[in-house]
Structure 1
Amino acid sequence: MSATAHAAPAPSSSASASAGSSGGHGSTTPAYLNTPYRAYQLWQRAEYPKQVWYFVGAGLGALVLCNLFYILRVRLRKGKLMENRHITTGDNEKHTGVGRGPASWRRLPLAIDSAFKIVAFRWTVPYGLNYVLSLSEVFFTVGYLTALMIWTFIYSYGGQEAFWTQRAGAIAYWQFPLLPLLAGKNNFITFVTGISYEKINIMHRAVARTLFILVLLHAFTKAETFTADKLAAQNYLTGTMAAVAIGAIFLTSLRPVRTHAFELFLILHICLIAIFLAGLYFHQPKNALFIWLFIGFWGFDRVTRGLRLFFINRGMPKAHDAIVEAISTDSVRLVLPNRHITWKAGQHVFLILPGVSNIPFEAHPFTIANIPDRDGKGKKKVTDLVFYIRAMDGFTRKLHDYAAAHQGSTVSAFVDGPYGVPPPVNTFTTVVLIAGGSGASFTVPLLLDIISAARHQKTPVKRVMFIWSVKNSADLKWASEVITSAANNVPGTLDLDLRIHVTGAGGLVPTLGHGSEERMPITPTSPVEKSGSTKGSHAEIAHIEEVSTQGGHSTLTRDTSVYKTRFGRPNIPAMIREEIEASTGPVSVNACGPSRLTKAVRATLRSGPAGPSAVLRGTAPVSMYIENFGAVRSSK
């Protein structure tokens, strides 16, 4: 970096002395305006912004190479597992567990890969009250900020404002087109890196806040010389307008505003960006190219989304095409019939419901809770889209109120999507799916996809553990029919273990496949025992049994025709460790739910059977994918 900055020679000592004397007492011209200082400053202002883009381009290139390696690795892994999927292993050939087998240096690459995943994606830093950042996200944020600060202040000769104040503004100006590239749902970076837009949006916020700092550095040094006459000049007036606008964008984009007043955030964001771009354009008309790039990248996303909206919703009825019904006090089922869309399990779309939203074309993301239907040859057919939506605040609460008041009625709806890069669950031997509450709308489609692939012999997955934790039994109703149908169609090649946990007090438990309910007492603990799994056909008789726990407590469970319902919180770490230690091949752990659940998953996968020493000794390598209700954190 410093070597690049030396591409142009610094002013010589004699020249510096000469320039300094000309700026002494009695001189009307400051030293920094004399050559060669002035020429050197202008060179820095023109060259350093380019060097920053070289730095960003190099980082982007590294991500592209990582994506290509990842795609190749996934394909090779699936191919190898598919070749061996019919090979059965005896008990003496299974993994010996953590620390029990001898270390094999042939497994060193897998151990290094495990260590990298733990450091980059599973170690986290608290961010606010309920959020965390992985170390990879921290590395990007800190790395980008550090790089821009270095290019801003390097070779400023004692930190003289004359060297860095204009340079800070120039670097920020050149970097602004990066913002819409990182914010758009359809963008070039997602296409070449394979990183879904919602994860790239984390980078968008990091870049925006870094550029806000540069704008402050540029503006505050000018504020010292503000006068009424200067402020009236176009350059100062428009620069002040842009600085105030980006400051307002920063404040209104903080997480509390986005979480509790998204509609307000959306309106202010659009209006303030328009003001900011207008101020920037007239502040530096000679650099208008970057403004047009900004608008072009944003326009590409909007045009692409518009065309997608038209294609998907073409030929739809004039109105009233989405069926909505309230299935509990805080859940909504929404069905969109026969859309022209194909998607992968775990992907989401943006729904536009003009009759419910405050803003006619306000779009909200929701995961598709079903998978595309297939014909007898395994080809995808036109399929209804099904959504199960948890009513929180704002739009989802309004949707629930509408559904409750118009039970089973219809509402006009438009679809944009699909989006997201779901985990390749059909490239592993063992898959663990963990959901909390409405997080099952993400894990249920993955389960359905695995079962469908197993029926068509297109997956190497041999075992699936499905864990779902809900507060009350009413939350189970929407998935009862889906889970029953799926579990009763599991082929003999797939071992399926369904575990449902009700953590709230009191309630009725749906009996899958029988249509009756039974009230049962609840204890605050949960068993850790190995439960019976479903494989092929299933028992027809449901019964109630009492299972002892380690602490001397007991919990009543309900064993239905396809799964066992437990009352109390699941012991997530114990369940994950059991599956990893028992697996004969690579393991995929996927979770979606509240922060407490996902934190437990991350903590479990940092050590023990998922650690590098265990992998070195023969334990199956583990991949992790976590989706946090609107913010995805993943490990490939």
Structure 2
Amino acid sequence: MSSKGNATASGLTSGSNSTMAGAKMNGTSHGGHPVSVSAIRNKTYPTEFWYCVLVLLAIICLGRVAGFIGSWRRRRHAQALKTRDVENRGTVARRSGWTRLPTAAVNAWRVVAFRSEIAFGPYYSINLAEGFITLAYLAALFTWSLINTTINGQMQYGGRTGAIAAAQLPLIVALGMRNNIIGWITGIGYEKLNYMHRTTARALLVLVWFHAGTWIKIGLEGPNAVTEPQIQWALTATIALTLVCIVFVRPVRHRAYEVFIISHFLLVFFFILGAYMHASDHKLGRYVWPTWLLWGFDRIVRAGRILAFNHGYLMPGGGVACNATVERVADGFIRLRFHRPAHLHWLPGQSAHLTMPAVSKFPFESHPFTIANADVPAPPAPTMEKMKIENSMESTSSSSSSTMTVSTGESSDKELIFIIKKQQGFTRHLDQIAKQGGKLKILFDGPYGHPPRLVHYDTVVFLAYGSGVSFTNSLFVDLVYRARADPTICRSIIFVWTIRHADQVNLIYSDLLQVLETAPPALHISVRIHVTATATLSLSTSEPWSPTSPMSMTSPISPVFGEKKSGAYDNLSALSKTTWHNGRPSVETVLHEAMDGAQGSVAVNVCGPHTVAKDVKRVLRSHGPSSVLRGGPSVSLFVDSFSF
């Protein structure tokens, strides 16, 4: 091993110069000095590692292409049924046998990769696909970092780990951006790529400490003394990265989200700055400066979105029309409603980041929320009139106000609606404002995400819990709208929503009324609302109650809900194709009903607690390739998680 006197700062790129002074690559020299094999490897191995990353991204892109092919096949199958009576599609016998082998193979892959999980405690888990990608990344990372570092019987990996660590920065930053280049080419939303962002950052921390520990062991003196600027920058970067990875773990992020946002920004800024100043001193700055470009690109795109969709605030009058109406629609739930220009478009299930200076602790603090309404035209005029009649019967309180998702044609602007559950911090302050009523200045940044495209599935299942209905409601409204224009879009929809109290139906009441009244006759819809708070229930049996039953139409008080709220009862009576149930739904029963009755592929969409998604995956694991070979449907699963 080299002596302390020879362990200079150049060791980051040349390894141990004293032991490798005689190792030359065919006499190649740089500046009159021989270039060691270690220096060559430290330069080429980071590039080879990036080739490995690019190959992995290419494989994921091939998976996305396969998804497009599957969508094309579903569309062809639906179009083939167009010559038949759509209402009688349920009588078509399902094929079975070896012709379904490709479909069975796809479902086998889904079961293994995405529905089998590795649990880390009771509330967190990753699927096997995430686990495999994590292990593959870590294996490649540490293989390229530690291979061929043994010199004269001693491992000298200080220079290599530093070079490999610097090469990770563009990847880590790209994975953490909202406007994510990797997400655009793979079709994976930035909120899901955030898992790999955190994983790669923690792997980077290990490499950084490998790198730092080597030079600390050799000795921080001479050119590597702590008084040297490049070492001070290295210490700054190491401390900042350590704090980001160790202090802000999941429980801390949940309990102090506002503090995490600001602290994360500042610590990462000093980490990248320190890393660049240290790496550029060793001719590795080429790996670090692209991170500034990625960060700047993301901020420029964000600024462009904010300007394009919030420019009303620059107009005369201060953009009062852009302000959001804040109202409490149920106990513990807040609804935001505001308008934005007609050129704003979003897909059902997408989210947005909202900035509310009057509510936030920090002026530019933003929070992500799912857009609860669909970007579809207004419903037919007769339905609008009926809704006005129904709304006139309701209470004038905010909890019974309309949740119309689209404008009525009086304005070219589009209305956006967000449903927010009151928790701690930001949402608690927002709830206090909602109690008083009024309007808020709000900056809209979005839309973001890659939600599922549900067209041409035979049967679509929605499972939502509480405010998770924001995700399923927009998909539901959009799907029924498309089915009105093309009956082959979907044959059957099962919409299951679990709420705690009966008055929470007001969160999406008007949307339900629109959809159920304007749905095409050929589309079978079953809406099932489960109420879990036993204090509000008077029914002793588990039998469902439908508002179209004779009992519900003649009884002055709801047979299900003991709450004497005439407005809520009027709402319940107006909803057709809807049944009400005591307690939580049986996920297994709902899914087996959907799969048994399907004549084509099935899409299951879930938004709720982690335990619910876990139960859904458990049921779908039993529906493996053998079931598909026997004629069972191919099942796709889409989960929108509450956590971040």
Give the shorter-chain TM-score range: 0.7 to 0.9
Maintained 8 Å contact 1:505/1:522: no
In the alignment, the residues of structure 2 paired with residue 177 and residue 92 of structure 1 have an alpha-carbon distance, to the nearest angstrom, of: 55
Q: Structure 2 counterpart of 1:334, which letter?
A: L
Q: Structure 2 counterpart of 1:318, which letter?
A: G
Q: Does 1:281 align with 2:276?
A: yes
Please give the residue correspondences for 1:266-277 in structure 2 after superposition, counting only pairs within 5 Å: 266-277=261-272
Helix, strand or coil at the partner of 2:362: coil
Maintained 8 Å contact 2:539/2:559: no
Under a length normalisation based on structure 2, what TM-score does the superposition of the two structures give?
Answer: 0.82
What residue is the counterpart of 1:592 in the other structure?
A: 607
Helix, strand or coil at the partner of 1:384: strand
Given candidates 453, 475, 482, the residue that maps to 1:453 is 482
What residue is the counterpart of 2:464 in the other structure?
A: 435
Given candidates 489, 497, 508, the residue that maps to 2:526 is 497
Change (3 A) 1:161 1:625: farther
Residue segments in structure 1 that go unaligned for 5+ positions in a row = 1-27, 96-100, 508-519, 547-557, 632-636
Under a length normalisation based on structure 1, what TM-score does the superposition of the two structures give?
Answer: 0.83
Maintained 8 Å contact 1:453/1:459: no
Helix, strand or coil at the partner of 2:218: coil
Please give the residue correspondences for 1:456-471 in structure 2 after superposition, counting only pairs within 5 Å: 456-457=485-486, 459-471=488-500
Q: Structure 2 counterpart of 1:110, which letter?
A: T
Change (3 A) 1:568 1:39: same
What is the deviation of 1:375?
6.2
Q: Does 1:420 align with 2:449?
A: yes
What residue is the counterpart of 2:330 in the other structure?
A: 328
Given candidates 244, 253, 262, the residue that maps to 2:239 is 244
Residue segments in structure 2 that go unaligned for 5+ positions in a row = 1-15, 26-34, 382-405, 561-571
Aligned-residue RMSD, C-alpha: 2.9
What residue is the counterpart of 2:538 in the other structure?
A: 521
Q: Structure 2 counterpart of 1:423, which letter?
A: P
Change (3 A) 1:43 1:476: same
Please give the residue correspondences for 1:190-339 in structure 2 after superposition, counting only pairs within 5 Å: 190-227=183-220, 230-285=225-280, 286-316=283-313, 318-320=318-320, 321-339=323-341
In the alignment, the residues of structure 2 paired with residue 251 and residue 105 of structure 1 have an alpha-carbon distance, to the nearest angstrom, of: 52
Maintained 8 Å contact 1:176/1:294: yes
What residue is the counterpart of 2:49 in the other structure?
A: 52
Of stretches 470-479 and 361-370 in structure 1, the one that deviates more from structure 2 is 470-479
Q: Percent identity?
A: 32
Given candidates 606, 611, 622, the residue that maps to 2:624 is 611
In the alignment, the residues of structure 2 paired with residue 55 and residue 487 of structure 1 have an alpha-carbon distance, to the nearest angstrom, of: 51
What is the deviation of 1:32?
4.5
Change (3 A) 1:319 1:382: closer
Helix, strand or coil at the partner of 1:426: coil
Maintained 8 Å contact 1:245/1:272: yes
What is the deviation of 1:328?
2.4
In the alignment, the residues of structure 2 paired with residue 542 and residue 228 of structure 1 have an alpha-carbon distance, to the nearest angstrom, of: 90
What residue is the counterpart of 2:19 in the other structure?
A: 31
Deviations 1:511-557 (A, max 9, x none): xxxxxxxxx4255x856x8x9899xxx999477789xxxxxxxxxxx
Q: Structure 2 counterpart of 1:387, which letter?
A: F
Maintained 8 Å contact 2:81/2:488: no
What is the deviation of 1:268?
1.3
Deviations 1:260-287 (A, max 9, x none): 1111111111111121122222212222
What is the deviation of 1:235?
3.2
Q: Structure 1 counterpart of 2:348, which letter?
A: A
Helix, strand or coil at the partner of 1:491: coil
In the alignment, the residues of structure 1 paired with residue 244 and residue 89 of structure 2 have an alpha-carbon distance, to the nearest angstrom, of: 61
What residue is the counterpart of 1:444 in the other structure?
A: 473
What residue is the counterpart of 1:183 in the other structure?
A: 176
In the alignment, the residues of structure 2 paired with residue 532 and residue 377 of structure 1 have an alpha-carbon distance, to the nearest angstrom, of: 26
Given candidates 535, 549, 558, the residue that maps to 1:506 is 535
What residue is the counterpart of 1:347 in the other structure?
A: 350
Deviations 1:137-158 (A, max 9, x none): 1111111011111111222338
Maintained 8 Å contact 1:85/1:460: no
In the alignment, the residues of structure 1 paired with residue 332 and residue 378 of structure 2 have an alpha-carbon distance, to the nearest angstrom, of: 35
In the alignment, the residues of structure 1 paired with residue 45 and residue 259 of structure 2 have an alpha-carbon distance, to the nearest angstrom, of: 37
In the alignment, the residues of structure 2 paired with residue 138 and residue 68 of structure 1 have an alpha-carbon distance, to the nearest angstrom, of: 22
What is the deviation of 1:33?
4.8
In the alignment, the residues of structure 2 paired with residue 34 and residue 159 of structure 1 have an alpha-carbon distance, to the nearest angstrom, of: 13
Q: How many residues align?
A: 566
In the alignment, the residues of structure 2 paired with residue 573 and residue 86 of structure 1 have an alpha-carbon distance, to the nearest angstrom, of: 34
Helix, strand or coil at the partner of 2:359: coil
Please give the residue correspondences for 1:2-13 in structure 2 after superposition, counting only pairs within 5 Å: none
